[in-house]
Each structure stands twice: as C-alpha cells, then as structure tokens.
Amino acid sequence: MKKITHYFILLAVSLGIVSCGTKFLDVDYYTIVNPEGVYEDSSNVFLGLVGVYHALYASGEYLVPHPAVFNLPTLDMQADGWDAEMINHSWTNEARSGFFRTQWERGYVQVNRANLFLRDLENVSDDVVPEAQRRIYEAEARALRAEAYYYLTINYSRVPMLMTGETYETSPEKARPESDEDAWSLIEEDFAFAASVLDWKPAENMSGRFTKAAALAYQGKANMYMGNFDKAKGLYKQIIDGSGKKLNPVHGMLHWQSNPDSEETIWEVSYPEYPNMSWGIWRYALNGDNKFFSAQTRPDEYGGWGDASVSFEHVRSYEPGDKRLLYNIVGWHEKYEEATGKMVGWGDKNPYMSSRNQIGATAKYQKFFQEREGMPNNHSIKWWKDNNEFSSFSVQLYRYTAVLLDYAECCFRTGDAATGWEMIKQVRNRAWGNLEVNYDPNVTNKASDHYVFPTELLNEDVVAVPDAQQFYTQYKADKGYTSDLWIVALMQERRKEFLQEFSLWFDLTRMGLVEEWLNCEYPKNGGATFYNTQTKKYYIPSGNDYNEPYTQAPDAEKRYMIPITKRDWDWNPIHSVYPIPQSELTANPLCEQNPGY
C-alpha cells in the first residue's frame, strides 16, 4: 500500500460545522498524520478527506477565491492603496496586491491535497472502507480538485493540470493544456463524475461537504465556458427540478451569521458560529485570518480594516423598491431642499444594527468621498451585520440565484427566451420582498439568540414588481448598450445579486462584455469625480480631494451634481485574464505567460 505523505497536516480544532447535530471537520487534533499504515484504518481515510477540505480554510488572505479579484475590476466595488491597481486596470504579473500569487498558491494547495488523497485512496481495501464509500470519497476529492481548477482557470485561462498522484514535487515542470477547451474538458470530467456519485444531501448529513447540486452547477458552468449551452441547460434543469433548493425568502438572510447550508446554498465554505470571538481565542478559530468579519468589512468610520466601498454608479442602478439596495449597501446622500434652497445631507443606517452605525454620524464622514484616498462613502454590508470583532459567515460561492440566472442565459442562447425571462422574474420577485410576506426567519431555525434578524425590514404585503423587459429596454437606451436586451438585463441582475461575491467580473469576461460594460457604466471622463446632469459638465478635482468640485460649488449648482467614478484610462483586452505569477514562470519554465503580459 502506498503511504500518504505528510502533506496532510490536519489542524481541525474548532472547525465544527453544524447541521442537524452533525459536526463536520470537528475531529481530533493531529499535528501530523503518521504516514506508516495510515490508510489501514477507516477513520484515518476520512481524515485524509478532511485534509483536502481543510485547504478551503486559507490563512494570510481572507479566502480563495478572493472577492477583490471578482469585484474590483468591475468598478462597482472600489479600493485604495496597494490594491487600487485592480480598479485602474493597471495590474501586471508583479502585482503589488499579491492577489494573483496568493490565489495561484492556494489553488494548487487544494489540487495537491486532492491528488495525494486520490492516489492513496486507490490502495484502500474493501475491508477498510467499502467500495461504495470510497466512491463517495473519490467523488468529493475530484470535485474539490475540479473546483480549484475552475477558479484557477477563470482567473488565468488554462493552467498546468496536475492529476491523481501528481504534485509540484513529483511534476515540477508541466505545460498548460493545448487549449482552453482541453482544460475545461478535464474540469468537466471531474464534476460529471462527482455528480454521478453524490446525492442532493451531503454525505452523512454533514454540512460543508460537496453535493450533487454543487457538482452539477459547476459542470454546467464549465460547459458554458465551452459554449455547450444545451448541455449546461439540462444540468441546471436537474438542479431546479430535483435538488429541493429554492430562493431564500429574504435576500438579507443570504449572508447571515448563523444561516449555514440554507435552502439557497449550492456550494459554500462553511464556518462555525463564534458569536463572541476575540483575539484571545484566535488560535482556536481556523477561520481566524480569513477576515470575513465585521471588523474587516465595516467602514473606516467605524474602525474597519478594509471596508468594501461601493461606487455611486452601482447605487444609482437600483430601481425604486428593489430591496437588494436596503439589504446590501449603506451610504451618504444629499438632496436639494426647495424650501431653503440648500443641500441637505444624511447617511443611511445599517439596518441590521443600532442607530450609532450611521454613515456620516461623524462630521468628517459627511461627504460623498472619504478623505482616505477618495473612496466612495458607500459601503457593502453583506458581511457587516454586527459589531463583534469576528463573526463567522458561510461564504456562498455558488447559490441557487446563480443557478436560475445561469439557466436563464442558457435558455436565451438556445431559443427559449420566455423561460429565460421567467427566471429573471423569479429573482426580481424575491428582490422586491414578495417572498418575505408571512415569513419570519427567527422562527425557522435560521437565526439564533446571538443574531436575531430585524423583522421590521420585511414586507407585510405583496408589491408590484416592474416588468424587466420594459425597464431594461429604457435602461439599455439610456446607457447606450448595443448588446441584446436579455444580455443587458442578465448582467444588471447579476450585478445587483452578486456584489462582493464571486462571479460578476468573470461573467463579463466570459461573455466578452467588459469593454461595453466600462463604456456604458463607467465611461472615460478625464478623471472627473462629479457630473452635472443639467449642463453635462464634468468636474475634475485639482488634487487628491475628490470632494473639492462639490464643496466649492454653490448650492444652486450642487442640486444638479452627482458623484461619479474617475476614469482616465483605456480598456486593454489583455486584462480579460489575469497574469500568471512570475514566481510560477520561474519555477516552471514549461508554463508560458498569458499574451500581453
């Protein structure tokens, strides 16, 4: 029997993921698994699988995939300092942020662990683990390998594909596949196998393990990348018809601290609930440095470490009544008061928290742009829902909303527009709060004593939802889009659903829409930070004070001025994929750089 290497270092303390009383990854502590005869015991075989899952819990950077690389290039989310290169589209293979290197390294950690586990699993006998159980373990490990390759491939195009038994120690030099389709075919093969073996419910009812729905969803996406929309459509239909998944009735519950494995979960990285986290127990919380916590994402005004600033263009894109704005963003506003002839300002309150968490409660922050390098004074609250130093979230990488919208795209592309619009209608119906009526998240085991959802936010009555085709026909004309109406509608719905999540940028690049998106949503303006809707004038600040054009204007002129995102750079098509890190090119001379870098 082959021996497992000591690559599987299992640090599984305090990784309790609870589902119906079953804890996954809540296993005994091992500093290292002894390679001698390790797989002669069934419990150790399971620990090997746990070692593969543990690669999901990265440290150093808050998670791989990293939300910055999925959001900042869209300009809907913005950043200052060392990661401003992402919103200026000025990144190179020597990126200051380190995002590319970190994602690459963490992706291959997951690949390597899966490959070693799969190698050793081949030599486990029936009397140790029955064949049916081994197939489930194999399916999960292959799905995790494919998931790592999926995120590597959408970031960097085709990457070196190490397979069962291979690591960078055994195969230090390996070329990329000949084509993107070759890479996607290998990824699709792993997901297809997993989907054929796994059930809709996670194995042993352990939340946090891969399922049939997750495998089908990623298999569908792989086929979308290959242009196989008929096949992808059928895969998504299986999820819709057979998984039992559905839209969570309350959009604001999607990223709720104590709502793991919800009815909407397709695939998530599940974290345990630590309502009273502090620095004192940091070492016990293996999600400790992942930073999906309030202290990370709340605004600088409230001591945030790196708040998620949202563009004014994004905020203005919401239709009246769309509750995704209420549930996801707080910001600073000003309006002209006819009675006084003055501009009146106010800040949104975080709806999940007390009134002291109001934007602009401090005079210094009563501005459109923060003084700290000019970030918009709008803030995502998807992961800012309490004041605890740390708050665990089950991070949704693929949820049922994405299944509906991906299915809608496949329908549009295969001549079934009516079904495509129906999927968009379902998503918008939830967005306007119609699924909330007569629903109380605090009595459905979806909230806890620590995190009580504010039910005053919920709709009491069903409301009328604007017709999507009618609205987006006007939106398309106003913005100057030339793409088909369904494309504009789908992109805007993805925009509002997946802010600070993990798909919008890559859907834009996959569909070849980045240039049109930038020209219509964030046109070049010479570096202006305000625009006059009456005179069509752009205002360019003289220095780093982005508020300067507004503060120096009279109130009569301010009433027509809106804040905008400064852009003085051109779109470069090479940025449709990210550069392969220089460290990888140096270590593996058979891996060539992406064109243009």
**DSSP class per residue in 517-563:** HHHHHS---SS-SEEETTT--EE--SSS-TTHHHHTS-HHHHTTEEE
Q: How confident is the model at residue 283 (pLDDT cuts 50, 70, 90)?
A: very low
Q: Which helix or strand (DSSP H or E) is residue 491 part of?
A: helix 485-497
Handedness of CA 501, 507, 510, 514 (dihedral sign): negative
Q: How confident is the model at residue 391 (pLDDT cuts 50, 70, 90)?
A: low
Structure confidence at residue 292 (pLDDT) = 55
Examine the pLDDT at 355 and tell me if it is beyond 80. no
The closest alpha carbon to 213, from 187, 251, 240, 186, belongs to 240
Q: Which helix or strand (DSSP H or E) is residue 101 part of?
A: helix 99-121
* Two structure tokens written together for 220: 């569908």
* Two structure tokens written together for 50: 């746990």
Structure confidence at residue 293 (pLDDT) = 57
Structure confidence at residue 277 (pLDDT) = 37
Strands 530-532, 395-399: pairing kind: unpaired
The closest alpha carbon to 253, from 328, 142, 173, belongs to 328
Domains of the chain: residue spans and CATH: 17-219 (1.25.40.390), 294-387+525-563 (no CATH), 397-522 (no CATH)
The closest alpha carbon to 228, from 406, 491, 407, 410, belongs to 410
Structure confidence at residue 303 (pLDDT) = 82
Q: How confident is the model at residue 10 (pLDDT cuts 50, 70, 90)?
A: very low
Structure confidence at residue 452 (pLDDT) = 84
* Two structure tokens written together for 271: 């974290």
Examine the pLDDT at 2 and tell me if it is beyond 90. no
Examine the pLDDT at 465 and tell me if it is beyond 70. yes
Structure confidence at residue 270 (pLDDT) = 73
Q: What distance separates the 2 farthest-apart alpha carbons in the chain?
A: 85
Q: How confident is the model at residue 238 (pLDDT cuts 50, 70, 90)?
A: very high
**Which tops the pLDDT comparison, 395 or 8?**
395
User: Can you tell me the mean pLDDT for 129-150?
Assistant: 98
Which range is least confidently modeled, 94-98, 313-317, 425-429, 465-469? 94-98
Task: Name beta bridge partners: 23.
Answer: 18
| R_g of the chain computed on alpha carbons | 24
Counting Cα atoms < 13 Å in the Cβ hemisphere of 542 gives 5
DSSP for 191-246 reads HHHHHHH--SSPGGG-TTS--HHHHHHHHHHHHHHTT-HHHHHHHHHHHHHHS---
Which range is least confidently modeled, 34-38, 266-270, 570-574? 34-38
- pTM exceeds 0.75 for this model: yes
* Two structure tokens written together for 44: 């150790």
Examine the pLDDT at 446 and tell me if it is beyond 90. no
pLDDT tens figures, 505-561: 999 999 999 999 999 999 999 999 999 999 999 999 999 999 999 999 999 999 999
User: Can you tell me the mean pLDDT for 30-55?
Assistant: 75
Cα-flanking dihedrals φ and ψ of residue 18, to 5°? -100, 130
Examine the pLDDT at 17 and tell me if it is beyond 50. no
Structure confidence at residue 288 (pLDDT) = 44
User: Can you tell me the mean pLDDT for 75-88?
Assistant: 92
Residue 137 near residue 49, CB atoms below 8 Å? yes
The answer to whether the peptide bond before residue 275 is cis (omega within 30 degrees of 0) is no
Structure confidence at residue 97 (pLDDT) = 79
User: Can you tell me the mean pLDDT for 381-407?
Assistant: 85
Q: How confident is the model at residue 13 (pLDDT cuts 50, 70, 90)?
A: very low
Q: How confident is the model at residue 276 (pLDDT cuts 50, 70, 90)?
A: very low
Q: How confident is the model at residue 164 (pLDDT cuts 50, 70, 90)?
A: very high
Structure confidence at residue 82 (pLDDT) = 82
User: Can you tell me the mean pLDDT for 283-309?
Assistant: 65
Structure confidence at residue 400 (pLDDT) = 98
User: Can you tell me the mean pLDDT for 189-216?
Assistant: 96
Q: Which helix or strand (DSSP H or E) is residue 397 part of?
A: strand 395-399
Residue 152 near residue 206, CB atoms below 8 Å? no
**Which tops the pLDDT comparison, 254 or 389?**
254
What is the spatial distance between Cα 293 and Cα 62, in angstroms, rounded to a whole number? 10
The closest alpha carbon to 258, from 493, 46, 452, 477, belongs to 452
User: Can you tell me the mean pLDDT for 197-215?
Assistant: 95
Q: How confident is the model at residue 260 (pLDDT cuts 50, 70, 90)?
A: confident
**Percent of the chain predicted with pLDDT > 90:** 72
User: Can you tell me the mean pLDDT for 181-207?
Assistant: 96
Q: How confident is the model at residue 58 (pLDDT cuts 50, 70, 90)?
A: low
What is the spatial distance between Cα 548 and Cα 275, in angstroms, rounded to a whole number? 42
What is the spatial distance between Cα 408 and Cα 424, in angstroms, rounded to a whole number? 7
What is the spatial distance between Cα 438 and Cα 460, in angstroms, rounded to a whole number? 7
User: Can you tell me the mean pLDDT for 4-13?
Assistant: 34
Query: For tokens 């291979």, what's the residue?
Result: 166
Task: Name beta bridge partners: 347.
Answer: 332
Structure confidence at residue 38 (pLDDT) = 66
Structure confidence at residue 318 (pLDDT) = 98
Task: Name beta bridge partners: 330.
Answer: 379
